[in-house]
């Protein structure tokens, strides 16, 4: 349980702007919050990202659906911590489930309904009920920066029937392009509207209080009437533009502060995680009482690059920056997601690298996210459809995803890399995910404990201390980023929260004593694990037990 004791007197200033500038008209909202109680359940969770269209087809139409997820819940988590046949994840992030003209759903036409290809609202409520019965939370993708150009709001706005100022219009085309050089002004009915991503996704105008109120009421609907546990919110840095300043504006940050207050008024435990695809320092303001946390993109790059380049330097410096930037553990960790080439592809189909990446992801602090199929070695390289291919369940026809031809061709590696094969092998990629998810779930120190980097005699070792002071439990985690076996591992730390004394290092995966450390009063230790070999791309998970 985390308590945020606040007395916030917030004057939130929203600048009502024309498409190319900012006017002087403002509105002020003064809000007093005191002793807000929050329960960050997400720090105890392991998330699994699902593209519903590609997960499992229950009705033989070639498209994955909500009933398909229900049928596969026992694969994700059967609700019994004593079994080893399920993956053990405890929260699901569903990519967009709203009606949309596109296959991906990131251009919404109705914020309060379900894409009919995926099922009905009753199907979704049944999924929530079944998931909750197994201890699984449900978080949905909320795409609020923009709608589809087929949304009734936009068609009315474009025809000037109503809701004209729900979007951004200009009679003349402004001269500037978007943040990555793209066209952002698009013509419709002799006027120009703003859409940062493309013309089929017109941006909403959040300087219009009617738009803000509609979105707040929509979030309330999904929480109170449907029962979701949270939202992954797309493109948070683009919410409000100021002329050609199109990301990370002061007005955007003020808007998110207001929404955070609103969210907490609904339920402080209603999670909001933001996608701000930018650097750690630019992400930080969004995680400061604007969203509960955001995804850490730089860390994902550092993790994969560290393994591919066999060095700890990037990981060490990035984790140091992260620890000094965010509130403890309030950031999302991942290898890749639905917008990036899959990790197994980026590792060159190197299984030992993929296993090592899983172990690092699941033993670092933060909130870990696993992209569906990553645990069985699914491949994928841009374009986007190819990194969102159907899930590989078996080696049979259509990879066990559907009894008919899937909506998109399968990966060509599904005969070997699938759930059935991987679950039957004790040293598979899947088994490493399952084992380390279980260890994280069992041990508070690995979920929400502190992090301290451990120096080594080898720059190809990435080692750290995870400690939970309440349970007085600590782990030394050692990863060999090298393609070579490593002997005589020296580990040292100058300061930590460890209590003075002598501790045995017990490998909790096989109960083997790997040596001991003598901790002095500052929490420092310096020791060599002699007669110990850590194989290439392997890891030790060592529990400190008082001698």
Catalytic residues: 234, 275
Only one residue has tokens 């201890």, namely 135
Coil, strand, or helix at residue 420? helix
User: 391: which residues sit within 8 A by CB, 6+ positions away?
Assistant: 54, 55, 56, 64, 372, 373, 378, 399, 401, 419
Measured in degrees and rounded to the nearest 5, phi and psi for residue 396 equal -80, -175
Q: Which H/E stretch holds residue 445?
A: helix 444-448
**Taking a C-beta distance cutoff of 8 angstroms, is the pair 95, 104 a contact?**
yes
Planar angle of CA 153, 156, 162, nearest 5 degrees: 95
Measured in degrees and rounded to the nearest 5, phi and psi for residue 122 equal -65, -35
Please, is 120 exposed, middle or buried when counting C-beta atoms within 10 Å of its C-beta (0-12, 13-18, 19+)?
middle
Closest C-alpha to 32, from 265, 286, 327, 292: 265
**CA pseudo-torsion sign 296, 86, 44, 514:** negative
Got the DSSP string for 154-181?
HHHHHTTSS-GGGB-EESS--S---TTS
Closest C-alpha to 141, from 107, 116, 179, 167: 107
Coil, strand, or helix at residue 325? helix
378: which strand partners?
A: none
Give the full edge-to-edge strand order of the sheet including 539-546.
512-519, 501-507, 539-546, 473-480, 461-468, 450-456, 486-493, 525-534
């Amino acid at each position: 349980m985390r308590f945020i004791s606040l007395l916030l007197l917030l004057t939130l200033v929203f600048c009502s702007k024309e498409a190319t500038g900012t006017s002087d008209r403002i509105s002020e909202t003064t809000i007093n919050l005191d002793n807000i109680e929050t329960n960050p359940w997400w720090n105890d969770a392991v998330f699994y990202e699902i593209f519903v269209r590609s997960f499992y087809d229950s009705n033989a139409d070639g498209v994955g659906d909500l009933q398909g997820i229900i049928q596969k819940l026992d694969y994700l988590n059967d609700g019994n911590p004593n079994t080893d046949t399920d993956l053990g994840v405890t929260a699901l992030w569903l990519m967009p489930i709203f009606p949309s003209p596109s296959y991906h759903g990131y251009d919404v036409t109705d914020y309060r309904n379900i894409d009919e290809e995926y099922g009905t609202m009753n199907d979704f409520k049944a999924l929530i009920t079944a998931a909750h019965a197994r201890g699984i939370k449900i978080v949905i993708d909320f795409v609020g920066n923009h709608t589809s150009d087929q949304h009734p709001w936009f068609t009315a706005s474009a025809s000037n029937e109503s809701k004209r100022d729900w979007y951004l219009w200009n009679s003349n085309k402004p001269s500037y392009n978007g943040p990555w050089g793209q066209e952002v002004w698009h013509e419709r009915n002799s006027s120009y509207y703003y859409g940062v991503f493309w013309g089929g996704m017109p941006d909403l105008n959040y300087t219009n209080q009617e738009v803000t109120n509609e979105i707040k009421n929509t979030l309330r609907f999904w929480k109170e009437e449907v029962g979701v546990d949270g939202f992954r919110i797309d493109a948070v840095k683009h919410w409000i533009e100021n002329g050609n300043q199109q990301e990370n504006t002061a007005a955007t940050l003020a808007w998110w502060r207001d929404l955070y207050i609103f969210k907490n008024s609904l339920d402080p435990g209603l999670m909001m995680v933001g996608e701000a695809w930018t650097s750690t320092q630019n992400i930080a303001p969004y995680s400061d009482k604007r969203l509960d946390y955001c995804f850490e993109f730089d860390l994902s790059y550092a993790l994969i690059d560290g393994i591919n380049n066999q060095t700890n330097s990037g990981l060490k410096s990035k984790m140091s920056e992260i620890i000094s930037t965010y509130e403890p553990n309030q950031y999302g960790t991942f290898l890749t997601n639905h917008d990036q080439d899959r990790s197994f592809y980026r590792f060159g189909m190197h299984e030992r690298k993929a296993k090592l990446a899983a172990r690092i992801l699941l033993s670092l602090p933060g909130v870990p996210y696993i992209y569906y199929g990553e645990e069985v070695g699914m491949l994928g390289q841009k374009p986007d459809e190819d990194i969102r291919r159907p899930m590989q369940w078996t080696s049979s026809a259509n990879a066990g995803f559907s009894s008919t031809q899937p909506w998109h061709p399968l990966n060509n590696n599904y005969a070997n890399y699938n759930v059935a094969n991987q679950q039957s092998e004790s040293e598979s990629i899947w088994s490493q995910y399952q084992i380390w998810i279980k260890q994280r779930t069992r041990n508070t120190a690995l979920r929400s404990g502190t992090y301290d980097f451990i120096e080594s005699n080898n720059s190809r070792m990435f080692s750290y201390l995870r400690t939970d002071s309440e349970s007085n439990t600590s782990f030394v985690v050692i990863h060999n980023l090298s393609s070579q076996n490593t002997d005589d591992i020296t580990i040292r730390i100058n300061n930590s929260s460890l209590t003075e004394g002598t501790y045995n290092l017990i490998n909790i995966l096989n109960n083997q004593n790997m040596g001991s450390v003598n901790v002095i009063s500052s929490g420092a230790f310096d020791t060599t694990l002699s007669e110990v070999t850590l194989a290439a791309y392997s890891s030790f998970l060592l529990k400190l037990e008082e001698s």
